[in-house]
Amino acid sequence: MNEVIIYHNPRCSKSRQTLALLEENGIQPDIRKYLDDAPSADELKLVLKQLGISARELLRTKEPEFKEQGLDDTALSDEQIIKVMTEVPKLIERPIVIKGDKARIGRPPESVLDIL
């Protein structure tokens, strides 16, 4: 099974561009609207491992919820940050494309091509 998954927000232009890029390359990904279907802590840990980044690096720091949730506190652990991201999925950077054991953030959208 070699399916491609995209954590997608239809209201985000980068997310729409990344989805279009996948489709232009003949890929019909499994679309996960993560705002409606938030990933679990275990799913996020796996995605972070696939991306090779820390939980803090996956945060959308310009969202008002970033400060509201106290995420500007640099003492927070990855576990604490992941917990907030499962509760407020809007804080997860998007889009994320996953294929096999690799993942990329579609910023810019073309960055996902190297895992396809």
Q: Break the chain into its structural domains and give their ranges.
A: 4-115
CA–CA dist 46, 18 (Å, integer): 21
Q: What is the pLDDT of residues 32-78, one digit of tens each?
A: 999 999 999 999 999 999 999 999 999 999 999 999 999 999 999 99
Residues 80-99: tens digit of each pLDDT = 999 999 999 999 999 999 99
Known catalytic residues are 12
- Please, what's the largest Cα pairwise distance for the chain? 43
User: Model confidence at 112, in pLDDT bands (50, 70, 90)?
Assistant: very high
Query: In the chain, which residue ranges form alpha helices assigned H by DSSP?
Result: 13-24, 41-51, 64-68, 78-87
Fold for the domain defined by 4-115 = Glutaredoxin (3.40.30)
